[in-house]
Chains A and B, each alone.
Chain A
Amino acid sequence: MTSSLIEVRGLVKTFGAFRALDGLDLVVGAGEVHGFLGPNGAGKSTTIRVLLGLLRKDAGEVRILGGDPWRDAATLHRRLAYVPGDVSLWPNLSGGEIVDLLIRMRGADPATSRREELIERFSLDPTKRGRAYSKGNRQKVALVAALATDPDLLILDEPTSGLDPLMEQVFNECVAEQTARGATVLLSSHILSEVDRLADRVTIIREGRVVESGRLSDLRHLSRSRIVATLSGAAPDLTGTPGVHDLAVDGSRVSCTVDPDGLPAVLSVLTAAGVTALTSTPPSLEELFLDAYRDRAGAGR
């Protein structure tokens, strides 16, 4: 499959007795924005660091940009840009120096890059020393360096942590521009709204394993809607109706989650009981996220 820029199969990484990655799969196709979701400690950063050749895998297959990240790290890195989640800068170098250094180290020329434009858009002061930047500004330095050139692949590990909403907006625009010219983006995050807005596909991981992966539209389809209804008459008994879960009855108020297949049946029962108010919420990514965890945790028991 030549259209995949990242192909990970059965990746295992252990730190002593701790199994950080336990048979993880991740496929990122060319030109897509792939959301990489998971709670803290799920193994997102570990996966990324294996992809960058910083960590050595214990088992499994890892291909990135068609090469082996451990063996060909330096060559492959000419075609990608990386923004770590927690950016640490050289205390006595200025932001501008660091941006130019990182661009040059990737084999590009800062003069022909978009550095000036991005410094402007992110309203970054490039003359400050590394030690004087706040967390958000350190993040901006790394983002400007990564977005200034035209890499084939962008690996962004929680890139907006520390950015204010205005700067998040700028970031979203920049990612959109990158994908418009054909770049592939791996976006790790636990800020779900960000992924919701940008990602075509997501992979949700927990404890070093994939719990859910696919197109966002497909995942939504698979998941349940939350129905809250206020009724004029007595609450009907929905227990046993196929596809109904988490049923709660509070006087004339009924709430439940419903599988897509069960929706028509549930709605007709509620209509018959005399609905005065009805809300149906499509699953947000948060719920997808929680669903995926709950199922996994439940199956594990």
Chain B
Amino acid sequence: MSTSTSGWPLLLRLGLRQDRVLAPVAVAVLVLMSVASAAATPGLYADQADRVRAAEAINASPAIVALYGPVLDVASEGELAMTKMTVLYAVFVAVLFVVVVRRHTRVEEETGRTELLGGTALGRDAPLVATAVEAVLLALALGLLTALGNTVSGLDPAGSVAFGALWAGTALVAAGIGAVTAQLSASARTCAAYAAGVVGLLFVLRAVGDTGPGWVSWLSPLGWNTQVRAYGDVRWWLLPCYAVAAIVLLGVAFRLRSRRDLGSGLVPTRPGPRTGSPRLADAFSLAVKVHSTTLVLWSVAAGALGIVFGMIAPGIGDLLDSEVAQSIIDELGGALVAAILSIVAVVLTYFAVTVVSHAGRDEQDGRAELVLATATSRGRWFAASATLALVGTAGLLAVTGAGLWIGYAAADGPGIGNLLLAALAWAPAAWVVGALAVLSLAAGLRWSVLVWAWPAAFLTLGLVGDLLELPGWLTGLSPYSHVPSLPSDAWSWGSAGGLSAVAAVLLTVAWWRFRSRDIG
């Protein structure tokens, strides 16, 4: 007998096979970061009193609390060790699960592969069931490995179980968000934007709640992560709430799925223009047009993030007077603005990655062929994507910097230097990583998977490198490690010039390779 879910085990096997690289690598990276943090903490503080002072310093800084959440039990070693992991890195967990869910639901639908399978004995809900099951399996693996890793690194076993559970819970909620947003639009990219918006909103809600009216944090599952107090007096009752939230979201997703046709979204697609604008006439204007929505959404997000943290940042001024606090903040990754920018820079590099990988898909699907069969030369096609990727990323950094500056000025912060410049200081490093992505594309389609790997690899290297005290030459491989932490450090022409030169060399090599290779 055939039901609306029949055939899902087959799809589950297919999904696991498709994710056989992405899932293990991403889970391993996340577990490794947690383990590295857990293992490094005892070495950072001499005794219990030192730890308490550090935790109190964190709590005293609204800016740091906004970014990482408060340490609810200052006496707990685990709470301090997991400061970054509890909320901020849980966002990466969420991103992973949104990505996994989207690629097995909406992306498959948009490319028509679901339709291909729909002709077989598969039920309408089978893709969603298979994806949900995979997400649960993956969340369990992530939770168990994290709990195990943290315990082995010397943290309290019960607390580690609670911590693993809260990461798994975040993962499940994110999977639910991914499943619901995948129903909304016929465009996979628009669905991704909805999901990113929801995760961003949940992060901001808890940032507001943690620094202001406390009840707001409880609206966000990311806020629950802090409230679980994994390594303190654990609120075990909070853990089932994640499962309930995930089940509700999945239920909504199934309801929405039953109300729409395959390949369509709930938000109807408006008809497009009958004729093309005269400005849409070459490879560059095409790239801008294709990425215009993405560019607008990223700009709004970058600007809003900048303003929010710019307004919070002045709180750090009082702290900088105390010598102890100064050193603690350094240990936590430099002054707050620098810390935010170091992460924002990596995230914004993904704009460049999106543009470059889109060019790769254009080539794979034959759209590049369509363009290159016109009077558009290879050089123009190649330059269009490379230029948009690199200029766009720099532009987004500038928007972030402007946001920081506006927020900071609005909050009447003391002068701490040029925040726009502080943001732009990351552009050359982002260019190097963007240029590596371009080089991967130029090397040929089989290397295009690397396009996505570069920024994450360098981010991981930087974080793990600091915690495990890896040798300098190894951490130095990351372009991001050569950027001075403005505004606390001074602008360096050497760094900016050197990184820009490296990016230019990489782009030249990429072009040299691309001009002589086959297309498609």
A94-117 vs B: 1/0 string, CB under 8 Å? 111111111011110010000000
Given A106-B375, A127-B272, answer yes or no on A91-B518 (Cβ-Cβ < 8 Å).
Answer: no
Q: Flag if B375 contacts A54 (CB, 8 Å).
A: no
Assembled-state Cα–Cα distance A110/B371 (Å)? 16
Indicate if the CB atoms of A96 and B274 lie closer than 8 Å.
yes
Interface 1/0s, chain B 169-194, versus A by CB < 8 A?
00000000000000000110100000
Taking A54-B519, A97-B273, A105-B282 as contacts, is the C-beta distance between A84 and B375 under 8 angstroms? no
Task: Report Cα–Cα, A278/B301, bound state, in Å.
Answer: 81
B187 touches A131 (CB 8 A): yes
Interface residues in B270-312 by Cβ distance below 8 A to A read: 271-278, 280-283, 286, 289-290, 293
Q: How far is the CB of B159 from chain A (nearest CB, A)?
A: 47
**Nearest CB of A to B152, in Å:** 46
B281 partner, pick from A74, A98, A105, beta carbons under 8 A: A105
- List the one stretch of A35-43, A75-83, A215-223, A254-262 in contact with chain B: A75-83
Query: Is A90 in contact with B290, judged by CB distance below 8 angstroms?
Result: yes
Cβ-defined contact, A94 with B367, below 8 A: no
Interfacial chain A residues near B520, Cβ < 8 Å: 49, 54-55
Complex alpha-carbon distance, A93 and B380, angstroms: 20
- Are B375 and A110 interface neighbours, CB within 8 A? no
With a 10 A CB-CB cut-off, give which of A75, A82, A87, A105 has the most chain B CB atoms: A105
Compute how far the CA of A160 lies from the CA of B151 in the bound complex, rounded to whole angstroms: 64
Whether A92 contacts B366 in the complex (CB less than 8 A), given A56-B518, A74-B377, A78-B375, comes out as: no
The binding surface of chain A is classed by DSSP as: mixed
Nearest-CB distance from A71 to chain B (Å)? 11
Chain A residues with CB under 8 A of B278: 104
Report chain A residues within 8 Å CB of B276: 93, 96-101, 104, 110
Range, interface on chain B:
35 or more
Chain A 244-283 per-residue mask, 1 if CB under 8 angstroms from chain B, else 0: 0000000000000000000000000000000000000000
Complex CA gap A132/B520 in Å reads: 24
Q: Shortest CB–CB separation between residue A54 and chain B, in angstroms?
A: 4
Which of A75, A77, A88, A98 is the one whose CB lies under 8 Å from B366? A88
Instruction: Chain B residues near A102: list those with CB within 8 A.
Output: 370-371, 374
B116 at the interface (CB under 8 A from A): no
Nearest B-chain residue to A74, judged by Cβ:
B377
Number of interface residues of A (CB under 8 A): 45
Q: A89: CB under 8 A from chain B?
A: yes
CB atoms of A87 and B370 under 8 A apart: yes
Across the interface, do A88 and B365 meet the contact criterion of CB distance under 8 Å?
Answer: yes
Q: Which one of A73, A86, A155 has the greatest number of beta carbons of chain B within 10 Å?
A: A73
Q: Which of B274, B275, B369, B516 contacts A54 (CB 8 A)?
A: B369
Contact call B366/A126, Cβ cutoff below 8 A: no
Interchain CB contact under 8 A, A129 and B369: no
A52 proximal to B (CB < 8 A): yes
Q: Which residues of A contact B1 (CB under 8 A)?
A: none
Interface membership of A128, Cβ < 8 A: yes
Q: Does B84 contact A (CB under 8 A)?
A: no
Residues 369-385 of B contacting A (Cβ, < 8 Å): 369-378, 380
Given contacts A101-B280, A105-B282, contact A127 B273 (CB under 8 A): yes
| Contact assessment for A142 and B280 in the assembled complex, using a CB-CB cutoff below 8 Å | no
The answer to whether A91 and B187 touch across the interface, beta carbons within 8 angstroms, is: yes
Question: Which A residues are CB-close (under 8 A) to B374?
Answer: 77, 102, 105-106
Q: In the complex, A131→B516 CA distance in Å? A: 32
A105 and B274 contact, CB distance less than 8 A: no
CA distance A144 to B519 in the complex (A): 24
User: Judging by beta carbons under 8 Å apart, are B110 and A142 in contact?
Assistant: no
Majority SS of interface residues in chain B? loop
Query: Which residues of B lie under 8 Å from residue A91 when comparing CB positions?
Result: 110, 187
Most-contacted residue by chain A among B281, B286, B370, B519 (CB, 10 A): B370
Contact A90 B274 (CB under 8 A): no
Give the nearest-CB partner of B368 in chain A. Answer: A54
Minimum CB–CB distance for A222 against chain B, Å: 35
Could you tell me the distance in whole angstroms from the C-beta of A294 to the nearest C-beta in chain B? 33
Note all chain B residues with C-beta closer than 8 A to A126: 274-275
Nearest Cβ distance between residue A63 and chain B, in whole angstroms?
17
Question: Given A74-B376, A105-B374, are A56 and B516 neighbors across the interface (CB < 8 Å)?
Answer: yes
Name the interface residues of B478-500: CB closer than 8 Å to any CB of A: none
Identify which of A52, A96, A132, A155 contacts B273 (C-beta below 8 A): A96
Contact A74 B187 (CB under 8 A): no
Report how far A89 CA is from B371 CA in the complex, Å: 11
Q: Looking at the assembled complex, report how far the CB atom of B455 sits from the nearest CB atom of chain A, in whole angstroms.
A: 25
Q: CA A80 – CA B274 in complex, angstroms?
A: 24
Q: Smallest Cβ distance from A98 to chain B, in angstroms?
A: 7
Q: Which of A61-78 contact B (CB under 8 A)?
A: 73-75, 77-78
Are A100 and B365 closer than 8 Å at their CB atoms?
Answer: no
Judging by beta carbons under 8 Å apart, are A77 and B365 in contact? no
Known: A84-B366, A86-B366, A88-B370. Contact between A97 and B518, CB under 8 A?
Answer: no
Q: Separation in Å of the A68 CB from the closest CB of chain B?
A: 14
From residue 108 to 159 of chain A, which have CB atoms closer than 8 A to chain B? Answer: 110, 126-129, 131-132, 142, 155
* Chain B, residue nearest A125 (CB): B271
Residues in A neighbouring B277, C-beta threshold 8 A: 97
A93 and B289 CA atoms in complex are apart in Å by 9
**With a CB–CB cut-off of 8 A, which chain B residues contact A74?**
375-378, 380
Task: Assess whether B269 is in contact with A129, with CB atoms less than 8 Å apart.
Answer: yes
Q: How far is the CA of A107 from the CA of B281 in the complex (A)?
A: 9
Cβ–Cβ < 8 Å partners of A131 in chain B: 110, 186-187
Contact check, B375 vs A77: say whether CB atoms are below 8 A apart: yes
Decide: A52 near B367, CB < 8 A? Known: A101-B276, A104-B276, A131-B110: no
B219 to chain A minimum Cβ distance, whole angstroms, is: 33
Chain A residues in 8 Å Cβ range of B369: 49, 52, 54, 84
Interface flag for B517 (CB, 8 Å): yes
Establish whether residues B186 and A87, one from each chain, have CB atoms under 8 Å apart when the complex forms: no
Q: How far is the CA of A229 from the CA of B186 in the complex (A)?
A: 61
Instruction: Report which residue of B110, B278, B366, B373 has the largest number of chain A beta carbons within 10 angstroms of its beta carbon.
Output: B373
For residue B212, give the distance in angstroms from its CB to the closest CB of chain A: 39
Taking the nearest CB of chain A, how far is it from the CB of B105, in angstroms? 16
Smallest beta-carbon distance A51→chain B, Å: 10
> Which B residues are CB-close (under 8 A) to A128?
271-272
Bound-state CA distance A283–B375 (Å) is 42
Contacts of B273 in A (CB 8 A): 94, 96-97, 127
Mark each residue of chain B from 341 to 374: 1 if its CB lies under 8 Å from any CB of chain A, else 0: 0000000000000000000000001110111111
Question: Measured between alpha carbons, how far is A99 from B371 in the docked complex, in Å?
Answer: 12
Task: Tell me, rounded to whole Å, the shortest Cβ–Cβ distance linking A292 to chain B.
Answer: 28
Point out the residue from A49, A92, A94 that lies within 8 Å of B290, measured CB to CB: A92
For the complex of A and B, list the 10 residue pairs with the smallest distance between their C-beta atoms, beginning with the closest. A94-B272, A100-B276, A105-B374, A74-B377, A104-B281, A127-B271, A82-B373, A97-B276, A88-B365, A54-B519
B→A interface (CB under 8 Å): 110, 186-187, 189, 269, 271-278, 280-283, 286, 289-290, 293, 365-367, 369-378, 380, 516-520
Beyond known contacts A55-B520, A104-B278, A131-B187: 5 more, CB 8 A cutoff: A88-B366, A90-B290, A90-B367, A104-B281, A127-B273
Q: Can you list 8 A-B contacts with CB-CB less than 8 angstroms, sorted by A residue number?
A: A84-B373, A97-B272, A101-B276, A104-B281, A105-B283, A110-B276, A129-B269, A131-B186
Residues of A within 8 A of B (CB): 49, 52-56, 73-75, 77-78, 80-82, 84, 86-102, 104-107, 110, 126-129, 131-132, 142, 155
